Amino acid sequence: MSSAIVMKHIHFSYREKSMFNDVSVSFPQGEFTSLIGPNGSGKTTLIRHLIRQLTPTKGSLYLGNKEISSFNQKELARSLSYVPQYSPIEYDFTVYESVAMGRYAHQGRFSVLDSRDHSIIQDSLRMMNLDNLSHRNIIELSGGEYQRMLISRAIAQQSRIMVLDEPVSHLDIHHQKEILQLLRNLVDEKQVTVITTLHDLNAVSAFSDHVVMLLDGAIVAQGEVEHVLTKEKLEQVYNVEVDIEVFGHKPLILPRWNENQFS
């Protein structure tokens, strides 16, 4: 299995405080990888390294077989797209105009959107079921629609890798399922490498191929779902008692909210 991104022996400290101490991770190409771990475990720090918003103090990060620092900004955007945490803006671009921004990295200084760009934008909208909303102002979108718009914009970037930071944490289960299924389709149909942070462990189990588990800035485990989502590791990392049932080969995680829940 080849890797889309490889982090080798990453050290990172911020204001004298060590956040990562010799972290090595690889993200398999064309797979759905979830980053899990309690709040403050370093998920966001890891994501910010992947999108080059943070530079490691020591160690190296490869995208394909190139060092990430050797990319210029547009090259990076063509290789890797990023869907930030939900933070709506106040400017009333239409959905179409917003998604069209995804084409920026493919345009020259003097060029305008051509027919090929427009058909890519249309396809990206269709994949996220946004064709009917393309002329809607983005400030009028619901949380789920807004998230689909952001993902659609990332699709229009046509990068092989898509990184997402908590794409569903503000959504109800219906919209969580919708977004995660759409991301799953990207992996299955377009062989996009999806890397995302997720809090819901059962969603992780249902949708991921690969899981990276963090605690206190260190990787506790990485690998296939059933090897990472084990009772022992989950209890160690989250400090909560859990029961695990296995359906097919997907683990179902049942946290013990209180002592007599299952008695």
Partner 1 sequence: MKKGVRLGVILPVLLIVLALLFAYSLVVGAAGIEISKTLQILFTGRVYHATPAFSAAQHTIIWNLRLPRTLMALLVGSVLAVGGMVYQALFRNPMADPYVLGISSGAAFGVALGAYVGFLSGATGMWEVPAAAFGGSLLASLLIILLSGGTRRSQTTLLLTGIALNFFLSALMTLLMYLNRSQLQAIMQWTMGSFSSGSWDKVAILAVVSLITIGPLVLYTKELDILLLNEDAALSLGVSVKKVRLILLLLSTFGISVTVAFSGVIGFVGLMVPHIFRLITGPKHKNLLLLSLVGGPIITLASDIIAKTAVSPSELPVGVITALAGTPLFFILLVQYRRNR
Residue 110 binds partner 1 (CB under 8 A): yes
Residue 109 binds partner 1 (CB under 8 A): yes
Burial 95-130 (b: 16+ CB within 10 A, else e): bbebbbebbebbeeeeeeeeeebeebbbebbebbeb
Residue 15 binds partner 1 (CB under 8 A): no
Residue from 76, 127, 213, 221 in contact with partner 1 (CB under 8 A) = 76
Query: Which residues 6+ apart lie within 8 Å of 116 measured at CB?
Result: none
Residue 44 binds partner 1 (CB under 8 A): no
> Minimum CB separation from partner 1 for residue 24, in Å?
24
> Minimum CB separation from partner 1 for residue 43, in Å?
15
Residue 78 binds partner 1 (CB under 8 A): yes
What does 23-66 look like in DSSP terms, one character per residue? EEEEEETTSEEEEE-STTSSHHHHHHHHTTSS--SEEEEEETTE
Tokens of 48: 């910010």
Distance CA(138)–CA(98), nearest Å, equals 8
Residue 104 binds partner 1 (CB under 8 A): yes
Residue 137 binds partner 1 (CB under 8 A): yes
Nearer to partner 1, 14 or 91 (CB): 91
Residue from 102, 167, 217, 251 in contact with partner 1 (CB under 8 A) = 102
Residue from 11, 21, 29, 93 in contact with partner 1 (CB under 8 A) = 93
Distance CA(12)–CA(219), nearest Å, equals 14
Among the residue ranges 26-34, 56-64, 105-113, 233-241, the one whose residues contact partner 1 (CB under 8 A): 105-113
Residues 216-245 contacting partner 1, CB under 8 A? none
Tokens of 35: 């980053």
The count of residues interacting with partner 1 (CB under 8 A) is 33
Angle formed at CA 43 by CA 40 and CA 46, multiple of 5 degrees: 125
Q: How does strand 32-36 pair with strand 193-197?
A: parallel
- Site for partner 1, rule CB under 8 A: 51-53, 72-74, 76-78, 80-82, 84, 87, 89-94, 97, 101-102, 104-105, 107, 109-110, 135-137, 153, 157
